[in-house]
Amino acid sequence: MTLVPLNELLYKARAGKYAVCAINCCNIENVKCVLEAASEACSPIIIQAAPSEARHSTAQGLAAVVNAIGRDLKVTAAIHLDHGDSFELAVQCIRGGFTSVMFDGSSLSFQDNIEMTRKIVEFSHAAGISVEAELGMIGKATEMDELLAPNYMTDPDKAEEFVNATKVDCLAVAIGNAHGFYHFPPKLDLSRLAAIAQKVQIPLVLHGGTGIPEDQIKDSIKLGISKINFSTVTKKAFIDAVKLYLAENPDTVSLTRLMEAGSVSFKEKVASAIRQCGSIGKL
């Protein structure tokens, strides 16, 4: 396994007209599924952890697991903090061995988001680490009606100002996407995405990959999306498979069989995400 800065993966993806998928992981089972699926598909990959996931295994523990599992696999990967919520957590993840961090200042004022993101960018760049930021509010799919209001979406002019002021490496955009299962099929605002891509030269990130129709994923990649996040779809597959295994084997005391049952389904969804991102064979 080769660990690389996030930016190296994303610029290559943008030039090659594909995206790299970022899969949320909280433990050794998740990491194993993701690295194996990427290696089998000869695809670059991003292992990412949200704050609760990083806390679950500790940043250092998760990075150690990625290095141990990836050691004998042919794969190129980045280890990324997803939706980081503080300077301290970013520092902890960088010191623990992550190769990139996101700072999500979407709940802050525009100016405070700039200030905090810039502080994290300065620290991270000094350590050779890439930074993702969020402008607009991506939020949860259950709050979709509210999120479709224009003031929650990423404004192309503000995106340009934000990127120039922070020197961030990639930007998560709010264009009608949200986290979790959509209650109705999402319709990404692709003209807004095209306008953002015109104003901003850095790679763009699409959160809320679960449930976005494949044609919209393809169109968004054509317009400059280079990283797509998937979490709900893989976790739900794992949980459903574990439930099924327990229903069929109510007296089991084998944790390995239970974890394996969940992992088979988790890995299938990772393979599907890699295929949707068009990154098969792009190692």
Binding site for ligand 13P (CB under 6 A): 24, 82-83, 179-180, 207-210, 229-233
Q: Select 39 or 48, whichever has its Cβ closest to ligand 13P.
A: 48
Question: Which of 72, 82, 85, 169 is the catalytic position?
Answer: 82
With a CB cutoff of 8 Å and minimum separation 6, the contacts of 178 are 138, 139, 140, 141, 143, 144, 147, 186, 207, 208
Name residue, tokens 């599924």: 33
CA gap 7, 90 in Å, rounded: 17
Q: Supply the minimum distance, in Å, between the C-beta of residue 230 and ligand 13P.
A: 5
CA gap 41, 61 in Å, rounded: 26
Q: Supply the minimum distance, in Å, between the C-beta of residue 80 and ligand 13P.
A: 10
> CB neighbours (10 Å) of residue 240?
13
CA gap 33, 47 in Å, rounded: 11
Q: Supply the minimum distance, in Å, between the C-beta of residue 120 and ligand 13P.
A: 17
Find, among 57, 55, 35, the residue nearest to 47 by Cα.
Answer: 35
For 18-108, where are the E strands, in sequence order? 20-24, 45-49, 76-84, 100-103
CA gap 180, 133 in Å, rounded: 20
Question: Which residues, listed in sequence order, are joined to residue 102 by a DSSP beta bridge?
Answer: 132
Q: Supply the minimum distance, in Å, between the C-beta of residue 83 and ligand 13P.
A: 6
| Contact predicate 138/117, CB 8 Å | no
Helix (H) or strand (E) holding 52: helix 51-57
With a CB cutoff of 8 Å and minimum separation 6, the contacts of 250 are none
Can you read off the two tokens belonging to residue 275?
């295929």
Can you read off the two tokens belonging to residue 237?
């597959």
Q: Supply the minimum distance, in Å, between the C-beta of residue 282 and ligand 13P.
A: 21
Q: Select 83 or 282, whichever has its Cβ closest to ligand 13P.
A: 83
Annotation marks residue 72 as catalytic: no
Q: Supply the minimum distance, in Å, between the C-beta of residue 228 and ligand 13P.
A: 8
Q: Select 141 or 252, whichever has its Cβ closest to ligand 13P.
A: 141
Catalytic residues: 82
